[in-house]
Structure 1
Amino acid sequence: MASKTQKMMFQGLVGDIDCALDWPDGEPQGWALVLHPNPVQGGTRDNKVVTTISRACVQRGLVAVRPNFRGIGSSAGEFDEGRGETQDMKALVEQFSEQFPDIAAGKWVLGGFSFGTSIGLQLYGIWQAADERLPDAVILAGSAALRFRHLETVAPDDALIVHGENDDVVPLSEVMDWARPIDMPVVVVPNAGHFFHGKLLILRHLVQTRLRAL
């Protein structure tokens, strides 16, 4: 668990981005940006998959930043099908790096669940095209990589892709259609659905294992 959770506003293209920052015990070793599922379908930063990824990051000494997308909580604006959300998150990363330069200089993890994975992959593509610093680890759960795209997406070679065998929101076959042409390994959790009900401990263990390699 986080030693404390701080509420903080960053500025997106249409106004406030309402964020929760989960702080680890001791001196932070870096930070993680963890993106939530589709806000139109009830997704928020407090989603259990998001908080599971965040908790694993905090346990590795990272500050976990959990933003609410447009129109959720106190975040300004309305759902923009991934376009504005991607630009908002780009602005958030820039502002976090300016406000917490020592933390931003440490390890950096990009995580996402469902809709959040699409935003994360588009961000990765922007950073790679601009030759900017890339995350040290990318963690995608219930990936919706083929959805909500308005910019080129790039799949990191060493990304951790975790998917439920029985996902009825983003079928496993859809993820494999994305992963197969680029030879991207996918970790399949047997009998898990989209929200990993009853399988969150397995998800946390997989994330922890990936973070130990940083």
Structure 2
Amino acid sequence: MSLRTEQATCQGPAGLIEYTVDHPEDEPSGWALVLHPHPLHGGTRDNKIVTTVSRACVQHGLLAIRPNFRGVGASQGTFDRAVGETADMAAVVEHVFQAWPQAAAGPWVLAGFSFGSAVAAQLHADLADRGLPLPARLMLIGCAVERFRHRPLSMPPDTLMIHGEHDEVVPLAEGMDFARSHQLPMTVVPDAGHFFHGKLLILRQIVKSGLCGL
């Protein structure tokens, strides 16, 4: 299946935010926001974990949005340790509800990988504080939330956590500590490292299973 994609921008607190839109074959039944890893370590919207998650969402009939964080590609601003990035993604959510009303009328999914997981978790809390529409599913992959947390968090009980058994960047024990502190189950992929080399098909299947019922 080949994705139909387009590039777009919206306004954020630090300037323009560049994003890619991946379209499903038919009219979207909802949408997904998929957030990439650390911008200072090569993370972009085209990261293979991000595109794998996006593809799973598109196959489920969702419109998938993959933004570049500030300072990456054409996105303006400089790295802000998830504080500014969280504010930027809140602006993206509000933009999607205006620019893609049909997709926004359905359920939406918020997913983040590594640094993106920290932004996703804090974005969820920010949206809840502001009374804005919350995602039907939150996905944290290679969870690095505590490394960049700047606010209290309350995670939904159906949060999907996915971690590699041999994660060399965010050790499994660190992910387990976060899961334990929020009483969340975690799916561990045997023999997988941080970037799920050789395990992307398994990752995609776990994500697709997590989308069931939406």
Q: TM-score range by the shorter chain?
A: over 0.9
- Written as runs of structure 1 = structure 2, the 5 A alignment for 1:128-207 is 128-207=128-207
1:67 matched to which residue of 2?
67
Checking the alignment, whether the CA contact within 8 Å between 2:142 and 2:164 is kept in structure 1 is yes
Checking the alignment, whether the CA contact within 8 Å between 1:2 and 1:23 is kept in structure 2 is no
Checking the alignment, whether the CA contact within 8 Å between 1:2 and 1:25 is kept in structure 2 is no
- Written as runs of structure 1 = structure 2, the 5 A alignment for 1:14-53 is 14-53=14-53
Q: Distance in 1 between matches of 2:94 and 2:141?
A: 24
Q: Distance in 2 between matches of 1:80 and 1:180?
A: 27
Q: Secondary structure at the match of 2:6?
A: strand
Following TM superposition, where does structure 1 have runs of at least 4 consecutive aligned residues deviating by more than 6 angstroms?
A: none
Q: Distance in 1 between matches of 2:154 and 2:120?
A: 10
Query: Which amino acid counterpart does residue 112 of structure 1 have in structure 2?
Result: G
Tell me the alpha carbon deviations over residues 83-102 of structure 1, each in whole angstroms, 9 at most, x when there is no partner: 11000000110011012222
Tell me the alpha carbon deviations over residues 55-88 of structure 1, each in whole angstroms, 9 at most, x when there is no partner: 0000011010000001111111111111110000
Q: Distance in 1 between matches of 2:134 and 2:106?
A: 12
1:11 matched to which residue of 2?
11
Q: Secondary structure at the match of 1:94?
A: helix
Q: Distance in 2 between matches of 1:204 and 1:124?
A: 22
Q: Distance in 2 between matches of 1:182 and 1:45?
A: 28
TM-score norm. by structure 1 comes to 0.97
- Give the Å deviation of 1:126: 1.0
Identity %: 54
**Structure 1 residues without counterparts, runs of 5 or longer:** none
Count of equivalent residues: 214
1:106 matched to which residue of 2?
106
**Structure 2 residues without counterparts, runs of 5 or longer:** none
- Give the Å deviation of 1:2: 5.0
Query: Which amino acid counterpart does residue 66 of structure 1 have in structure 2?
Result: R
1:83 matched to which residue of 2?
83
Aligned-residue RMSD, C-alpha: 1.0
Q: Secondary structure at the match of 1:187?
A: strand
Q: Which moved more, 1:123-132 or 1:92-101?
A: 123-132
Q: Distance in 1 between matches of 2:188 and 2:99?
A: 38
Change (3 A) 1:133 1:28: same
Checking the alignment, whether the CA contact within 8 Å between 1:162 and 1:186 is kept in structure 2 is yes
